[in-house]
Structure formats: C-alpha cells, structure tokens
Structure 1
Amino acid sequence: MRCFLYSALVVLLSFTGIQAQTATSQPTPSSLLERAERALYRSDATMLDFTTQLKDKAGRIQSGISGKMYLQGDAFRLEYGTITAVYTTGTLTYYDSAEQTLTISTPSAEELLQINPLYFLRSRAKGYQSSLRRSTPQHATVLFTPMNTRGSITNIIAVFQQSNGLPSQLVFLAKDKSQLTAKIGRVTHRATYPSSFFQLDAKDYPGCEVVDLR
C-alpha cells in the first residue's frame, strides 16, 4: 500500500511539473511583439508581400489591394496599384499615377496604421493594452485595445507565427463596425536601401499636381 501511494505521488508530481512547464511555455504579448519587431525591423531592409481587404459593417467588401512593402528603420515604402507611398521622419508622400498627383502630409499615428498596418509593431504596440487570446504550436493570437478611446479603432487582432515570430494577419475593427484585414505573405531581407528610396520628389513626375496638406 505504501509503495502504491509513493508511486501515485511520483506520477502526480510529474504531472504537476508538466502542467507547470506547459503554462510557463505560453508566449506573452510582450514577447510576441519583441520577436515580431526583431523579425521585421532588423539592421537591413525587409521586403514583404501583403493584401488588405476592407469590409463595411454589413460584411460587404468595399475594397481590396495587394502590393509590396519595404521596411527600413522608421521608414517604409508601399507599392500597390497606381500608388507609390513613402514615409520618413514624420512625413508621408504618395504619388498616384492614375490621378497624376503627389500628396504630402504629416499623418497621425492612427492614420499611419491605416496606411501601413505593420507600423504599430515598430513601437511594440505603444499606446495599446494587450492580451493573449489563443496559442497553438503554430500560431498565437493577441488582442490589442487602444488606451485612447477617442480614435476610430476599437481593437486590433494580430496573429503571429510561432516558428519565426512574424505576423501573418492583422484585423482592425472600427467604431463604425467596418473591418480592415491585412495579410502578410512572403518576407525577405536584403541590404539597406539608400535614403532616396524612401523619398518622392515632384521633379521625378513632370506635370503632376502637388497637394501639400502639411
């Protein structure tokens, strides 16, 4: 009887240890953000394919785009359809070849999210509260809620790949019940670009209309 109790105790303690190890192996939002930031914003440049889809409150698709994104430090460049957009040192410049317009602005943090959904990962979701919603061996899902409730975004749901830390999907939920979904495709790295790659100048687009919103 004493031998049986001892054996049962060993099994129980072993099981408890396994449970503890499993619990501590759960990723935290901060660790996921740190891995994502390191994976996307290394010392070199990052190139990735992306798609976005906007749905209204009834679930109807309003728009969808696919393109390429280039990340380097705090600067980024987007290319999709007729649009080429660059952001650096607080200024966003984008050229629309269909309209032949070059627009210059100083976007807010929330406007930046709408232009580049990955940008909030650069600051590791500063200004957002976070909670882990689900974790599997393949993916981890985190819910982000803005601390400032005056904006139009109510929540951001991010899905991270456990294998490499990269985000695979970001869903932005707005107060008007619309939903923007961004999906990340192939990600590659290369040597850094010259600073001119993240700049657009009117002289490069002869005859374009310049719209300065600063």
Structure 2
Amino acid sequence: MNKLVSKILLFLLMLTTFQGLQAQKGAKETAVDPQAKKLLDKATAAFDSKSGLTIDFSLIMENLREGGKRQTIPGKILLRGDHFKLSVAGVDTYFDGKTEYVYVEKNKEVTITNPSQEDLKDINPLFLMKSYQSGYKMRYAGAVSVNGKELEMIDLYPNDLSNDYSIITIVLDKASLVLQSVKMQGKAGINTVLDVTKVTKKALADSEFVFNTDAHKGVEVIDLR
C-alpha cells in the first residue's frame, strides 16, 4: 500500500470514526471546541459504514512551490467495517480483513499478501485510525458561502508538531451536515484536498472485498502469502 492510498484511507476513515477524535480525556478536553464537536457528532451518523458505504471522490494535489500546480485524481472506495476496496489511479486495492489484493490494471497483475501486524498499521482502517484518533485539537472555523451553498468549517490541529500537515479542514454542508471536502495543509507547500462527489449507503457483500481471478482472465497472480 503506497502513501497515496494510505492518505486516502486516512481522509475517509476520519469521517467514519469522528467519535475517536472526540474521545480525548483529561486535559485534552480543553482543546475540543464544543460547537465543532456538536457538528461532528451529527455528521458522524451520515458516515456509518457498518453495513456498507460507497464514496466517490476527487483527490486534488496542489503544489504551492510550483505556482499552485494542481493534479486531480478521481477515485472510489467501498467501506464495510475494516473491509475496503479502493480504486484510484489505475490500481484496485482490496482488503477482506485478512488478505490484501493489489491489482495493477496496466501491468495485468495482482499481488496477494497476508499483511503482518506492522503492515496493518498502513492498510487496515482500524489500525490506521488508532494513530490519529486522539492526536488533534479541534476548532470551529465558521460558516462560509461558496457558489450559493452555505458551509460549516472545522479545523483540526495535530498535537504532534512533527506531522507533515499543520491543519486539516473539514467542510460540511450547513443544512444537511453531509461532508463536502477535507483539506490537509502541508508544511512543505503541498496541499491535499479530498472532494466528496457522492455518498451511497448500500449493503456490500464479502465478495466486494476479494479480487476475483476468474473475472480477470490472463492476469498474472503473484501470491506472497
């Protein structure tokens, strides 16, 4: 799983597990803005992935060091608990809770592995979120109007100052509190924006999270289990 995939998972899994960000105890509670928490509490309900959730998105990379040069990558992720299928940039990554399948279409090959506990920190939603769920201060950043749409903004500030990002901004539709975008402001001058274009709640079968070799004739299978 490359860094781009991990970044996408982090974005989307933050949305399905806002509770983790709100579960800070003791002194950290003073860093949680009550208004921001209230909004995220309500938004959480819209991103319940227990039975199945499909999210279409665009990932926008903005390089401020090169005059704001932008690269846009469309993608889709299917989520159900710790299972997922992520399709982005010609690569489909499947994880069924035990086995990972990475299918690279242009190479016509799929690599199959059973990730170790250490590997799971990069690819498993639950492991990924554990490193982030209590590491942020939270602040309500206000309401704005963009193209006639009223939006609410919440800023998250990492407690770990060595983090690559200084601020993560979550944007919600003011009326429905449905997620619109997440922006990570990079310290190195590279910003990453996830624009959510569609969210569909639908039950997902186990087969959605396993690569089907029968349906991909001629594909080279590299089984590293």
Match of 2:43 in 1: 36
Q: Give secondary structure in 2 for the equivalent of 1:28.
A: helix
- Cα distance in 1 for residues equivalent to 2:88 and 2:151: 28
> Percent identity at matched positions?
17
Question: 8 Å contact 1:145–1:154 — kept in the other structure?
Answer: yes
Q: Which amino acid aligns with 1:35?
A: K
- Under a length normalisation based on structure 2, what TM-score does the superposition of the two structures give? 0.64
> Do residues 178 (structure 1) and 186 (structure 2) align?
no
The reply to whether residue 167 of structure 1 matches residue 167 of structure 2 is: no
Please tell me whether the aligned partners of residues 110 and 219 of structure 2 are also in contact (alpha carbons under 8 angstroms).
Answer: no
* Counterpart Cα distance in 1 of 2:88 and 2:220: 19
1:35–1:166 CA contact under 8 A, matched in 2: no
| CA offset digits 1:109-132 (Å, max 9, x no partner) | 6x889xxxxx86x99953221111
From 60, 82, 107, the counterpart of 1:53: 60
8 Å contact kept, 2:96–2:206: no
Distance in 2 between residues matched to 1:123 and 1:139, nearest whole Å: 29
1:80 to 85, 88, 93: 88
> C-alpha distance in 2, partners of 1:64/1:89?
30
Corresponding residue for residue 11 of structure 1:
none
Per the alignment, in what secondary structure is the counterpart of residue 30 of structure 1?
Answer: helix
CA distance in 1, matches of 2:139, 2:223: 41
Matched with 2:209 is 198
1:146 paired to 2:152: no
Amino acid at match of 2:139: S
Post-superposition Cα deviations, 1:64-85, rounded to whole Å, max 9, x if no partner, equal 2112222222332222342212
Give the conservation status (yes or no) of the 8 Å contact 2:58–2:74.
yes
Query: Would you tell me which structure has more helix in proportion to its own residues?
Result: 2
Q: Report which of the two structures shows the higher radius of gyration computed on alpha carbons.
A: 1
Count of aligned positions:
179
